[in-house]
Amino acid sequence: MSRSGIYPADAVIMAPLSGFTDAAYRRSLYRHGCKFAFTEMVDVSAMAYKTQSSFFMLERSKEDVFLGCQLVGSSVEHTKIAMQELKAYDFDLIDLNLGCPVPKVAKKGAGAALGRNFELAKAVFSVIAENAKCPVTAKIRIVDADNVEPTLELVKMLENCGASAITIHGRIKEAFYSGPVNFEQIRICRENLKIPVIANGGIMNFDNYLEIKEKTKCTQVMTARGAMGNPWLFEELQTPENFHRPDVFELAEEIRLHIIDTCLLYGENHGMKLSRKLVHDYLKGRGFRSSYRAEASQMYEISDLYALLKKLCAEYGNQP
């Protein structure tokens, strides 16, 4: 395996996001240059208990040229059951989440909490590695902000257990998604592993992208929040010389396509409920009046979306 591993050099990868990266969301990303994406985070215990929504997340669409599946959980037995179920599905890789800091995940001993329980993490990851029919990877957070040694111990253990690559978010569990990213710890881990390390944390624009690559010496990166409501981020990072920020008409069209796809996936009633948060993300930070986000919270039908977009374009369409 080359140093670039399962991803090409300079790959920009979309992180799995619970409640977001479904097939409609991924289709939006693909329209703007994303080539590597994941399912939503799938709970191994939900799979073990045959929760139907978990299996719905696993479906691959024709647009998914590359698709990873990310698992979360801390039960060895449930992981064994989940891996048997996954044999019926087609993925390019399976990833174990060892970095999610959300309390409802961590309090179950999963996510970032599992990333600090090395023995259990080893047992769960080994089950995945031994039963997968595709490469296996892990997404972690640094363990200690002041001492790289615990993180080094974790990543070396994962490498020895068969990880093909490891994504490292350069913040500790308690920091969630704010504060400085510890580039140095990511760099040290990269220098001490034979497998690729993918840098993650705080990539919101091209300057952040250049900084994390320079300071970690990682050629491959993973973005998450930076692409929420901004699928154009992939164009900005990968083809900066041709990039232009979307005007209000381009924004409205992408919102329309994304929400239509969401309604086709879930039905109009449920799809519009899910779409409120999506429209919020698209409108956030673009200088629009706050009343538009309030109006998005009251969308019940596609016609409500069309009315909102029509007003948005009428008000902002003549601005330079």
Quote the tokens at residue 259: 């929400």
H or E element at residue 85: helix 76-86
Average pLDDT over residues 212-237: 98
Is the pLDDT at 273 greater than 70, yes or no? Answer: yes
Average pLDDT over residues 265-276: 98
Determine the topology of domain 12-242 in CATH: TIM Barrel (3.20.20)
Residue 223 CA to residue 231 CA, distance in Å, equals 11
- pLDDT of the residue at 2: 41
The average confidence (pLDDT) of the chain is 96
Is the pLDDT at 1 greater than 90, yes or no? Answer: no
pLDDT-above-70 percentage for the chain: 98
DSSP 36: B
Give the model confidence (pLDDT) of 104-163 as tens digits: 999 999 999 999 999 999 999 999 999 999 999 999 999 999 999 999 999 999 999 999
Residue 250 CA to residue 262 CA, distance in Å, equals 18
For the chain, what are the domain ranges?
Answer: 12-242, 248-316
Which are the catalytic amino acids?
100
Q: How confident is the model at residue 318 (pLDDT cuts 50, 70, 90)?
A: confident
Residue 230 CA to residue 225 CA, distance in Å, equals 9
Counted residue by residue, the chain has a size of 320
Average pLDDT over residues 62-91: 97
- pLDDT of the residue at 283: 98
pTM: 0.95
Q: How confident is the model at residue 5 (pLDDT cuts 50, 70, 90)?
A: confident
